[in-house]
Amino acid sequence: MPNDVIEKLKELNLELPEISTPGGNYQSVNIRGKIVYVAIQFPIYNGNFLYKGRLGLEINSQDGYNALQLCALNVLAQINSKVGFEKIVGLNHIDVYYRAVQNWHDSPKIADGASNLFANVLGAKGQHSRGLMGVENFPGNFSVGLITTWTLI
Amino acid sequence: MPNDVIEKLKELNLELPEISTPGGNYQSVNIRGKIVYVAIQFPIYNGNFLYKGRLGLEINSQDGYNALQLCALNVLAQINSKVGFEKIVGLNHIDVYYRAVQNWHDSPKIADGASNLFANVLGAKGQHSRGLMGVENFPGNFSVGLITTWTLI
Amino acid sequence: MPNDVIEKLKELNLELPEISTPGGNYQSVNIRGKIVYVAIQFPIYNGNFLYKGRLGLEINSQDGYNALQLCALNVLAQINSKVGFEKIVGLNHIDVYYRAVQNWHDSPKIADGASNLFANVLGAKGQHSRGLMGVENFPGNFSVGLITTWTLI
């Protein structure tokens, strides 16, 4: 299954980024009981902070889609590194947070940047429910952030 | 128990709305292990998007209360349709999100629009903890949104 | 273990505040299955609402750190009162919410006000993943709020 994920990503011309380190005194992945809690992931690629700014002003909706796809890749990299996909029943729920200007309404479209990746790479294991909230402030001026939980076998 | 819920709603002059369809590539209800994750529900009534705008500007606190009651009715409709109340131990936690102008402070009051409905209709099964966060942006210019999790028998 | 927590707090010159009562029709602590859901905790000390305003304007980053430490103390007081630390496997995840002015970027630093307390007082049981979201509005004009979940033995 880990190889399946890597292969699926290759077919999509994507690869897992390096896992980022926590920006504080917490764990990127915390397992309690049968649930895997993944800390908020931002659009970081191999140490580079990307997709900063406010949707509808500094960055557009296609950028937002790509930014959330990158957040989802970071989630997959964390699961791959700290848990292993063979130990996962599936994805539970994702909370998509984004920063946008007033009267910007493309959030469902950009959220699919994460949702499509999970569906395409993991199939039924990637099915999830979703929250979608436009916030005001993020560390590092990031445009988006993604919180996920998973269930262990 | 499903009939009990419907009857309790009738006593309150309420009924379950049609379940809304996801606005993206996700599930309205996702079950993993013993937990039921319900995607964010907005104040939609049979396909009509209601209670748009910002609390304290376009809509008032009574509207906000009704909007969150409608979100909660949509949650109940999802559980009724996809799970069945007879399979539910109870409601876990609700996250209430709202959009308001600066210096508007009625959020605990409007959040009870959801909390009272769950308590009145489900009794002890409807007991829950709560989060309450004022966000900046929602899809469709909605004023409020509601995320819930439930525990299965 | 409860005594251990109280002793550790004493070493840090801290003590558990009185538990606050819910500001609506919900439970401060809700247990379903093996998970303990704690309602959002604000920087309240023995009934006094502290640390109001917006980070970077009315209050500074050291205040924010202290405010989140106080939220975490309120979480510990709830667990101590309603569950008991001897029944806890550990902390799962914390969601840190804060209100700040534009271009304020100290949120990881203030979030450690909560994360450090859980780590210092509970050791491995206090390990957690973290979310960090800058919101616009809170009841009572609070600057920060904290949502946590825990796992039972």
Q: What is the pLDDT of residues A78-124, one digit of tens each?
A: 999 999 999 999 999 999 999 999 889 999 999 999 999 999 999 99
Element (H, E) at C48: strand C48-49
B20, pLDDT greater than 70 = yes
Tell whether the model's pLDDT for residue A2 goes beyond 90.
no
CA angle B70/B76/B77 to nearest 5° reads: 90
Residue numbers of the domain that contains C76: 2-152
d(C-alpha C50, C-alpha B18), whole Å: 44
Per cent of chain A over pLDDT 90 is 96
- Measure the CA angle with vertex B145, ends B144 and B148; round to 5°: 145
Contact criterion met (CB < 8 Å) for B137 and A111:
no
Q: What is the pLDDT of residue C142?
A: 98
The phi and psi torsions of C27 (rounded to 5 degrees) equal -100, 140
Show the tokens assigned to C50: 């502290």
Chain A neighbors of C114, CB-CB under 8 A: none
Quote ipTM for the complex. Answer: 0.96
User: Span B49-57, mean pLDDT?
Assistant: 97
Q: Residue C26: list chain B partners with CB under 8 A.
A: 94, 111, 115, 127-130
Rounded-to-integer distance, Cα C59 and Cα C143, Å:
8
pLDDT at B109: 98
- CB contact, 8 Å: C23 with chain B? yes
C-chain residues near A97 (CB < 8 A): 133
pTM of the model: 0.97
**Span C53-78, average pLDDT:** 98
CA B49 to chain centre: 14
Do B42 and B88 form a contact (C-beta atoms < 8 A)?
no
**Tell me, what's the pLDDT at A3?**
67
Inform me whether the C-beta atom of residue B68 falls under 8 Å from chain C C-beta atoms: no
- Has residue A1 got a pLDDT over 50? no
E strands of A29-106, at which residues? 29-32, 35-41, 44-45, 48-49, 88-99
Whether A102 contacts chain B with CB within 8 A? yes
Q: Is the dihedral of CA C2, C127, C98, C60 positive or negative?
A: positive
Q: What pLDDT score was predicted for residue C1?
A: 46
Cβ of A36 under 8 Å from any chain B Cβ?
Answer: no
Residue C3 is predicted with a pLDDT of 67
pLDDT of residue B45: 97
Which CATH number covers residue C121? 3.30.1330.40
- What would the two tokens of residue A138 be? 């993020």
Alpha-carbon Rg of chain A, whole angstroms?
15
Helix (H, G, I), strand (E, B) or coil at C56: coil
pLDDT tens by residue, C70-91: 999 999 999 999 999 999 999 9
Q: Does C145 contact B131 at a Cβ distance shorter than 8 Å?
A: yes
Overall average pLDDT of the B78-103 stretch: 97
What's the pLDDT band for C124 if we cut at 50, 70, 90?
very high
Into how many domains does chain A fold?
1
Chain-centre distance for alpha carbon C11: 19
pLDDT in tens, B63-74: 999 999 999 999
Neighbours of A77 (CB within 10 A): 18
For range A19-35, the mean pLDDT: 97
Average pLDDT over residues B70-89: 97
